[in-house]
Structure 1
């Protein structure tokens, strides 16, 4: 019996097979969960193609976290897929304009781009959870993804600020939904060669830093360790853990110079 046996899980932001979200969906299914995945806009057709690689093929929802209509209809959309309750929610959503909010443009980024990044990358953790609450009456687990935003990184700029907001939002979410038996945690992964990373100018330099300094070493092509951490947090094995950030980065966060 898998550690997610009988659980219903929504995994957002599934894109390519090299995304953390895809690997989470794959492992969650292997551990016994029923999974629904989501995306929106131009990426939705890609997600529908990628879904065919999962076994069983999960339902794909169109979900734009900036759309009040989509959020208001999410619980009903999940019910239509046979989810009378939801045990787990994986927030794997982030966006910052690579031309104006990343790559060293920090001091010149206008509020419009900053606001978009904050809404999609951080506030959506709360708005998405709120939309799922009608199905989480029996408790559950919310897990978000970050790239350790306790410190600044070259080129990461307003996405770093947005991730810091995400990490803080998760702690506050843990405070306010804990009485409903819902946990909120974050997984901080090291640099992985995903579509999101490739959109960050100069991000390839992160691989060099991790290769040199991570005590356990680091494989930027392997999303499995991060995905396993997410699945573990979705399970009952972390029944009393909330408001936490788990590092899956080969130990680099623990090192100095």
Structure 2
């Protein structure tokens, strides 16, 4: 099995329609032990969703903007597993005001950047004590090389997120830790539905050479599992597009 014996920390499991849920499911089906994270009002939701996985998964509380949570993460995750081989970052949030680019306040933009970009570094550093034998960090993005019609400061945050991944690849490579991103096409997840005018993305499949199903998160999850495996031992700082080929065609 692709991930036989590996131990993974997966963030962002909120509903069974989320990419992160299917990453956790596929990882377990491929031999991995999975620990999930959640916090606040969503903690019980994640615990309930975790019961839909092939095997029960422990859920550790983690708010990536809470320094105490980050400082104690390795200890608390270490109580469930004796180390980590991989970390999945599937976290993103921006206030409503961040989707109005010219009128957004710094507070709105700062929140988007903190939760959706800086958190990749924060989460990875928090998990480092458990990644003693190297491993793989995989994050999820939406192509930040262009300005999308509805993404605004979340798009800026994703650009920072992608840059953060490259710097992590630079600094963690000597420790045997790879950091790569999967750039998924738009999916009708809980997070995406909060983006104003998300329906504009629903025509993505008309331009993607392979087509695109906004209701199918499995292809993106499969790419994450592949990047978590040992089949990409010399790949880091990369962005793998799983978008039906839309990025190669444009508008």
1:109 aligns with 2:104: yes
**Structure 2 gap segments, 5+ residues each:** none
Shift of 1:75: 0.5
Q: Which residue of 2 aligns with 1:19?
A: 18
Corresponding residue for residue 200 of structure 2: 205
**1:173-252 alignment to 2 at 5 Å?**
173-208=168-203, 210-252=204-246
The total of aligned residue pairs comes to: 251
Spell out the pairing of 1:4-43 with structure 2 (5 A cutoff): 4-43=3-42
**d(CA) in 1 for partners of 2:2 and 2:33?**
12
SS in 1 for 2:121: helix
Deviation of 1:20 (Å):
0.3
Q: CA RMSD in A?
A: 0.7
Stretches of 4+ aligned residues off by more than 2 angstroms: none
Which residue is 2:63 aligned to? 64
| TM-score (structure 1 length as normaliser) | 0.96
Tell whether the 8 Å contact from 2:205 to 2:244 is kept in structure 1 after alignment: no
- Aligned equivalent of 1:86: 84
Q: Is 1:96 matched up with 2:94?
A: yes
What residue in structure 1 maps to residue 50 of structure 2?
51
TM-score by length of 2: 0.99
Q: What residue number does 2:73 align with?
A: 74
Q: Which runs of 5+ in 1 are unaligned?
A: none
Q: Separation in 2 of the partners of 1:135 and 1:39? A: 19
Corresponding position of 1:157: 152
The alpha carbon displacement at 1:41 in A equals 1.2
